[in-house]
Amino acid sequence: MTITDSDTISDTHEGAGTRTGVPFLDLKAQSAEIADDVLPVWREQLLSASFIGGSSVEAFEQEYAEYIGVDHVVGVANGTDALEVAYRALGLGTGDEVIVPVNTFIATAEAITRVGATPVFVDVDEHLLIDADAVAAAITPRTRAVVPVHLYGQTADVGALAPIAEKHGLVIIEDAAQSQGASSPAGRAGALGRVAATSFYPGKNLGAGGDAGAVLTDDPEVAAFARNFSAHGSSVKYVHDRAGINSRLDAIQATVLRAKLRRLEGWNDARRAAAARYTEMLAAVPAVVPPTMREGNRDVWHLYVVQVEERDRVLAELNASGIGAAVHYPHPLHLTPAYRNLGYRAGQFPVAEAAARRILSLPMFPHLTSQQQEQVVGVLRKATARGSAAE
């Protein structure tokens, strides 16, 4: 995003790319597929001036709640706001500590900072997801919550976190920005904690036509707070129960989300097929380490993240050849200037730090063809072979 999220999308590329190359992400193909569903509704909304809230938003919230398997979905303006609203709904604030994985987009921690609490970073496991043992070791008397991030389309091991949280009286808050449709043995991402936050940034598996997000929960009090707080703390016009924020899902974005939600399972299946093709192709490229899935997970492959030596050189060669590759994420959060004040040091989170030097996200989207993947792997094979030859 997780949440949220994340990277700026310009046209259909992230990183370099050409018209004859392979984009990192092809949003134009998605837009073309949903255009006949969306454009007539947009016209109706324009002519009726129905822009904020209304039937489209209510219908999407209900449909997404049913899809994920929660009682309540509250649409907001973006994924970062969704995280902040979720944190505030549980009363987090000054003096509280919230444990988050160090390998995530900054929004996960940024929203903690925005509510006045302190993010406490922990390392990740071999799947680059939050490490439950590291969480247990980081708990202090001030710890109030833990935020598993369902990163890259995987579901974090909430099953391992649950007994730790119960023992210490912690709340589990999911960052589900990169996991729409993903599941684990414990259930579907977004329905595993007390509350979850998600992003519908355009590049997500379920993306809007601009910024959008949502808070998900089974708790009616949390849902009521989220809806009230995100509307200036008001449930009745001009009556304000608290000082809130202005963060609402608009009808235009809800229309896009409804059209895409109807296609999400098919698009996620297409991502799974593309991931399987990549893994098969890369078996013949020993210099590239493909990602692995946690046992029992049904991932949705928001990103296909490999690991290579000399990552920056390889990335540059891919981009120069028209392959829109990227890095998610080049700097663990404890090493970013924004969190230098927390006093963490290099070497403190070895798994995440080693991965940050090696991870490389290859093009991944539902309309990715096998021919495009062959082109990606061909360039990747040459780039990594040059590195091996230099040794």
CATH number of the domain where residue 233 is located: 3.40.640.10
Do 308 and 250 lie in one domain? The reply is no
Domain that residue 68 falls in: 31-261
- Residue 4 to residue 220: CA distance in whole angstroms: 23
* Structural domain count of the chain: 2
Q: What angle do CA 187, 189, 190 make, to 5 degrees?
A: 110
Query: What pLDDT score does 18 carry?
Result: 44
pLDDT of residue 388: 57
Reported as a pLDDT band with limits 50, 70 and 90, residue 297 is very high
Do 268 and 190 have their domain in common? no
Instruction: Select from 298, 281, 338 the least CA-distant residue to 113.
Output: 338
Same domain, 231 and 369: no
DSSP one-letter code for 363: P
What was the pLDDT predicted at 387? 63
Mean pLDDT of 262-267: 98
Question: Measured between alpha carbons, how far is 287 from 384 in angstroms, rounded to an integer?
Answer: 6
Per-residue pLDDT tens digits for 187-205: 999 999 999 999 999 999 9
- The conformation of residue 294, written as its DSSP 8-state character, comes to P
125 assigned to some structural domain? yes
Residue 372 is predicted with a pLDDT of 98
Residue 12 covered by a domain: no
What is the mean pLDDT of the segment spanning 130-146? 98
How high does pLDDT run on average in the chain?
93
Judge whether 8 lies within some domain. no
Q: Residue 25 falls within a domain, yes or no?
A: no
- 165 and 288 assigned to the same domain: no
Please give the share of the chain, as a percent, with pLDDT higher than 90.
Answer: 89
Q: Indicate if the alpha-carbon torsion angle 321, 18, 5, 38 is positive or negative.
A: negative
Is there a contact between 96 and 88 (Cβ–Cβ < 8 Å)?
no
Q: How far apart are CA 101 and CA 104, in angstroms?
A: 6
Give CA–CA dist 52/340, Å, rounded: 39
DSSP, collapsed to helix, strand or coil, labels residue 181 as coil
177 to each of 152, 198, 212, 228, 258, how far by Cα in Å? 9, 4, 11, 22, 17
Largest CA distance in the chain: 70
Q: Is residue 10 part of a domain?
A: no
- What pLDDT, on a 0 to 100 scale, did the predictor assign at position 42? 86
Please check whether residues 326 and 284 belong to one and the same domain: yes
Q: Is the same domain home to 173 and 273?
A: no
Residue 13 lies inside a defined structural domain of this protein: no
Q: Given 239, 261, 283, which residue is the final one in a domain? A: 261
State both tokens at 83.
């995280």
Domain co-membership, 251 together with 180: yes
* Residue 32 DSSP symbol: H
In this structure, are 138 and 273 located in the same domain? no
Q: Which of 261, 289, 314 is the last residue of a domain?
A: 261
Q: Is the pLDDT reported for residue 40 higher than 60?
A: yes
Single pTM value for the model: 0.93
Residue 166 pLDDT greater than 60, yes or no: yes
CB neighbours of 91 closer than 8 A, spacing ≥ 6?
A: none
- 44, 33 in Cβ contact below 8 A? no
- Per-residue pLDDT at 9: 44
Q: Where is the domain boundary, 261, 292, 313?
A: 261
Specify the range with the lowest mean pLDDT, choosing from 31-45, 219-233, 248-262, 309-323: 31-45
Q: pLDDT band for position 52 (50/70/90)?
A: confident
Q: What is the pLDDT of residue 131?
A: 98
Give the C-alpha separation, 32 to 9, whole Å.
Answer: 17
Same-domain status, 104 and 174:
yes
Q: Over the stretch 72-109, which tens digit does the pLDDT of each residue have?
A: 999 999 999 999 999 999 999 999 999 999 999 999 99
Q: What is the pLDDT of residue 225?
A: 98
Residue 300 has pLDDT above 90, yes or no: yes
Question: Is 297 inside any structural domain?
Answer: yes
Residues 72, 168 within the same domain: yes
For residue 240, tell me if it sits in a domain.
yes
pLDDT for position 50: 79
Q: What integer pLDDT is reported at residue 45 of this predicted model?
A: 85
User: What CA–CA distance (Å, rounded) separates 344 from 340?
Assistant: 7
pLDDT reported for residue 92: 98
> Does residue 241 contact residue 233 with C-beta atoms inside 8 Å?
yes
Q: How many residues does the chain have?
A: 391
For the domain that residue 360 is a member of, what is the CATH number?
3.90.1150.10
Tell me what pLDDT residue 44 has: 86
Higher per-residue confidence, 1 vs 196: 196
Q: What confidence score (pLDDT) does residue 54 get?
A: 85
312: which residues sit within 8 A by CB, 6+ positions away? none
CA atoms within 13 A of residue 247's CA, in its CB half-sphere = 29
211 in Cβ contact with 203 (< 8 Å) = no
Do 276 and 253 reside in the same domain of the chain? no
Q: Tell me, yes or no, whether 156 and 92 share the same domain.
A: yes
